[in-house]
Amino acid sequence: MATVELRGIKKNFGTVAAVNGVDLLISDGEFLVLLGPSGCGKSTLLRMIAGFEKPTEGDVLIGGAVVNDLPPRARKIAMVFQSYALYPHMTVFKNIAFPLKAQGVAKAQVPQKVEWAASLFGIGHLLARKPRELSGGERQRVALARALVREPSVFLLDEPLSNLDAQLRASARDELQQFQRRIGTTTIYVTHDQVEAMGLGDRIAVMKAGQVRQIGTPQEIYDEPADTFVAGFVGSPPMNLMRHREYILGFRPEDFHPRNAINGAVKTAPFKFNVSRVEYLGADRLIYGTLVGDYSDQKVIARLPVTVTEKVDAGARYDFTVPERELRFFDKTTELRTSPQPV
Amino acid sequence: MVESFRTWGARLTRASILGVLTFFFAFPFLWMLITAFKQTGDLYDLQHNPFLFYEPPTLEHVKRLFYETLYGQWLLNTAFVGVLVVLITIALAVPAGYALGRLSGGWGARLGIGIFLTYLVPPTLLFIPLSRVVVNLHLDDSLWSLVLVYPSFTVPFSAWLMMGFFKAIPRDVEEAAMIDGYSRLGAFFRVVVPISMSGILTVAIFSFTLVMQEFVYAVTFISSVRNMTVGIGVPTFLVHGDVYFWGSLMAGCFIASVPVAILYNFFVDRFISGFTMGAVK
Amino acid sequence: MEASTSVAHPQNSASRAKSRASILDSESWLGWLLIAPAVLYITLLVGLPFLMALYYSVSDTTTGGGSMGFVGLRNFTAVIGTPKFQTALKNTLTFGLISQVLILILSNALALALQRDFPGRRLIRFLILLPWVAPISIGTIAWLWIFDSTYSVLNWILRLTGLVQGQGYMWLGLPHLAMGSIIAVNIWRQLPLATVILLAGYGSIPQDIHDAAAVDGAGFWRHFFQVTLPLILPITLVALLFGLIFTFTDMVIIYNLTRGGPFDTTQVLASLAFYTGIAGGDLAEGAAIALFLFPLLLAVALGFLMIAHRTEVT
């Protein structure tokens, strides 16, 4: 159990600044997700916490102590790699036992610890197999067991679910979160998948171009995005953003409904919507089109749940609205969140 | 790699291993170069520091090499044999490598092993019967005997290298060509060969160096000095009984080794990738 | 592989429209067709002479081309008993095994040292390759000059550093020194290729595995012996096999450096076969000597390949 703190971390590769000033405090037992597109620096940040890269500037603290000069093995951390990095020539048992042996754990204790870790993930029956004989999901669990057996202070996970089939990913996500709740170890998780991030994290740090744009709970990130990048990155389909007068206006597709479908008591902002295409997705309908009038034909998407039965056809124009409290306003130049403006 | 390499002790070990071994490898060539340009008096004076030039460097050894021996002729002979053998090797090994890499089923892997086994039968065994064959074909003392026989050790490994290179080319490219209207063979010539040009060049350079290296067959089949290749001319002819013209000898050695090495150096990376590709069956 | 079906392509004018599958489409036939010239050539120039060598070894052929009568295993029995054969056999084993063990250790050390990038790496790599690319006879002559009994630069350096008094060593003139010298030259010659092959092997291990071992806490030796070494074992065995075959069948170094001397102490089977068969004119006996190693090499090769196959992990 430990806190992890990053102070003023910068990392340059030659002239490229992969990480450009990050300050982060992760509490003991917290599940923090580093979310961002490729190239945003999240993996580099993780590798600096692990000790594979040295920060160009700044300090990494684990459990309150500066660890910049400590090699990975001295940091009491465990890491699960995107490729799982299982030792291909060793059995599952030996894979899990390897860190114990490296730390000099007494020979007699090794088998019971290995079995404990294996049983936590339900792979006790696979101990004699080699990695190439396992499925993707099984390999992932072996990687987790190997990480767990060291009883580390911090878990580092680098996109561990991205190599799994889509169906497996949801159940793996569920298991992972339950497991973390049970064990209670501080966990730092890197992903580019915002659904994963929203589902797993206690807090999410959204990164772009080497900096953290916003850090908060999933609800904070979603409901109160700090800038247009966060607003557009989280949420599927992304928030509708459009230039309007001297600011940028934003609203989420699920808040964009036909006027008739909204309770009359709610204050709303009106829009004229030219529909170009309708996608029927089962539980929702996605309506694609453009806004007319002040909004100079900018493209927007509406998401209507199946409970909204209003008929919407491609090629027609409709009166749509957004509740005023769901409107978000961003500064035109800095793209940061600003206070509400007249629409 | 491993974190511990960053420590000073490790750095020192690494540097010393590299230093000692690199010196071990390169020193003879440095020594060749110095000897080639040292004047005879300076060279054979036991009191002199062998690394210093007490008299100004001279071209007399190089001159003697080219004007008083048949070294120039040997270089031409080697080039002649080399080019022809490379062409034959490419003609045989490129299609064979393709067959092994693409069109094989189970027998492909087995043939691959068979190629290895060819090297178990080395020139130091085959030269005995081949010497008879060469005589019977009236090719004894002719460079054509070498042209005939050399592909026997260039082709197997070249085929294996090409197999590796071809495996690295995705099948999609050929299939696209076949949809566009080529037969498989047409796709091979029109699409695959141009893409693997650098691999073919690598094989060419590698085969050429093998030809330059070869000693056993050359010394067995060639007897007259005129027809010697550089690999046997230098050791056998420039060494007159017990009087060795070391200056010219070393000049000859340097010229016969370093330029080709420079050329080879450009292709080494591709050679390695072809080798590993072929090893991953 | 079945013949592929025809393809219709009205638009593409550059293509040769074939409406029927031809032999050029058939995978199996095409395969045989492409590989046939190479296979034919190798059969004629390796397979046949090999059979001829087998025959010579059980005949009484000489370079004069006289009789070619069958004499059974007489050549083998006659030569195996001779002291010169037995010395040659012993020398071959000494030369081969010591060389390979040293090459194995040194190539690993060198490959490890070359892992990280550093300034001048390309130049170092070029220098390291020189002994391999230079024609073997040429390189050997350079060493002949370095080992020269009177003018050896090596002796000069040793005298300078005070490590030796007087004239210095007769590198090629004393039995154990001569063996040491040819082993050194053999290592000089083969180490580059072994290193390059090992480098390729090291490069094929994904970096993730090294990172995982670092996180798991493995120190340098545990990391090397328990993680790295098992993963490069297949390619190491291949390199070792090539090296062994090459060393056991090499005669160039001995021919140019010591001529088998002094007093046969550096004569190996390959050079003995040459001197007997070509210089001596007794093709039959030469073939018998040369063939002696063949079954051994074949067994070793098959053994190695089987082990290499079994240690493959992916």
Interface test with C, best of A87, A94, A149, A162 (most C CBs within 10 A): A87
Do residues B26 and B129 share a domain?
Answer: no
Q: What is the pLDDT of residue C15?
A: 45
| pLDDT tens-digit readout, B140-160 | 888 999 999 999 989 988 888
Do residues B118 and B42 share a domain?
Answer: no
Do residues B54 and B137 share a domain?
Answer: no
How many domains does the structure of chain A reveal? 2
- Chain B residues with CB under 8 Å of C310 CB are none
Do residues A145 and A275 share a domain?
Answer: no
- Mean pLDDT value across chain C: 80
C6 at B interface, C-beta within 8 A:
no
- Supply the range of the domain harboring residue A265: 237-338
Do residues A255 and A113 share a domain?
Answer: no
B250 at C interface, C-beta within 8 A:
yes
Domain boundary among B58, B74, B105: B58
C240 at B interface, C-beta within 8 A:
no
Q: What's the complex ipTM? A: 0.81
Give which of C183, C188, C180, C308 is closest to C239, Cα–Cα.
Answer: C308
C263 at B interface, C-beta within 8 A:
no
Do residues B37 and B83 share a domain?
Answer: no
CATH of the domain at A268: 2.40.50.140
Do residues A8 and A85 share a domain?
Answer: yes
Which of residues 160 through 219 in chain A touch B, CB cutoff 8 A?
none
Q: Which helix (H) or strand (E) holds A247?
A: strand A247-251
In a domain, A229, yes or no: no
- List average pLDDT for each run of 10 residues in chain A, which is 343 residues long: 90 90 94 94 93 92 92 90 91 93 90 92 92 91 92 92 86 88 92 92 94 94 93 91 88 90 82 91 92 84 90 89 90 86 75
CA atoms within 13 A on the CB side of A124: 9
Interface of C with A (CB under 8 A): 206, 208-209, 211-219, 222, 226-227, 230-231, 311, 313-314
Residue A98 CA to residue A150 CA, distance in Å, equals 10
| Largest separation between any pair of C-alpha atoms in chain B | 77
Domain boundary among B58, B80, B96: B58
What global pTM score does this model have?
A: 0.79
Determine the distance in angstroms separating the CA of C229 from the nearest CA of chain A, rounded to an integer: 10
B258 at C interface, C-beta within 8 A:
yes
Interface contact flag, C212 A73, Cβ < 8 Å: no
Do residues A246 and A170 share a domain?
Answer: no
Query: Higher model confidence: residue A18 or residue B55?
Result: A18
Confidence grade of residue C13 (pLDDT, cut at 50, 70, 90) = very low
Which CA distances in Å does B272 have to B23, B32, C206, C234?
Answer: 23, 29, 17, 16
Confidence grade of residue C16 (pLDDT, cut at 50, 70, 90) = very low
Q: Taking a C-beta distance cutoff of 8 angstroms, is the pair C149, C170 a contact?
A: yes
Do residues B209 and B237 share a domain?
Answer: yes
Do residues B51 and B142 share a domain?
Answer: no
| pLDDT tens-digit readout, B156-198 | 888 888 888 888 888 888 888 888 878 777 878 888 888 888 8
Do residues A214 and A242 share a domain?
Answer: no
In this structure, how many other beta carbons lie within 10 angstroms of the beta carbon of residue A109? Answer: 10
Of the candidate ranges B180-194, B241-255, C6-20, the one whose mean pLDDT is the lowest: C6-20
Do residues B73 and B130 share a domain?
Answer: yes
Residue A280 CA to residue A304 CA, distance in Å, equals 10
Do residues A213 and A97 share a domain?
Answer: yes
Q: What is the pLDDT of residue C26?
A: 62
Do residues B109 and B233 share a domain?
Answer: yes
Interface contact flag, B96 C256, Cβ < 8 Å: no
Do residues A218 and A241 share a domain?
Answer: no
Of the candidate ranges A85-89, B207-211, C284-288, the one whose mean pLDDT is the lowest: C284-288
Tell the burial category of C222 from Cβ atoms under 10 Å away from its Cβ (0-12, 13-18, 19+). middle
- Chain A: residue whose CA lies nearest to C220: A102
Do residues B143 and B26 share a domain?
Answer: no
Q: What is the pLDDT of residue C10?
A: 45
Q: What string of H, E and C letters represents the secondary structure of chain B?
A: CCHHHHCHHHHHHHHHHHHHHHHHHHHHHHHHHHHHHCCHHHHCCCCCCCCCCCCCCCCHHHHHHHHHCCHHHHHHHHHHHHHHHHHHHHHHHHHHHHHHHHCCCHHHHHHHHHHHHHCCCCHHHHHHHHHHHHHHCCCCCCHHHHHHHCHHHHHHHHHHHHHHHHHCCCHHHHHHHHHCCCCHHHHHHHHHHHHCHHHHHHHHHHHHHHHHHCCHHHHHHCCCHHHCCHHHHHHHHCEECCEECHHHHHHHHHHHHHHHHHHHHCCHHHHHHHHHHHHCC
What is C86-271+292-310's CATH number? 1.10.3720.10
Confidence grade of residue B13 (pLDDT, cut at 50, 70, 90) = confident
- Chain A residues with CB under 8 Å of B3 CB are 51, 71-73
How is chain C split into domains, by residue range? Answer: 86-271+292-310
CATH of the domain at B187: 1.10.3720.10
Mean pLDDT, residues B58-76? 84
| pLDDT tens-digit readout, C192-201 | 889 988 888 8
Report the share of chain B in percent with pLDDT over 70: 88
- Supply the range of the domain harboring residue B23: 3-58
Q: What is the pLDDT of residue B5?
A: 47
Query: Higher model confidence: residue A2 or residue B10?
Result: A2
Output the six-digit token pair for B281: 């069956």
How many domains does the structure of chain B reveal? 2
| Residue linked to tokens 């190695």 | C304
Q: What is the pLDDT of residue A208?
A: 93
A37-46, A287-296, C57-66, C265-274: which has the highest mean pLDDT? A37-46
In a domain, A12, yes or no: yes
Determine the distance in angstroms separating the CA of A72 from the nearest CA of chain C, rounded to an integer: 5
Do residues A39 and A156 share a domain?
Answer: yes
- Chain B: residue whose CA lies nearest to A52: B3
Do residues A74 and A198 share a domain?
Answer: yes
Query: Higher model confidence: residue C206 or residue A293?
Result: C206
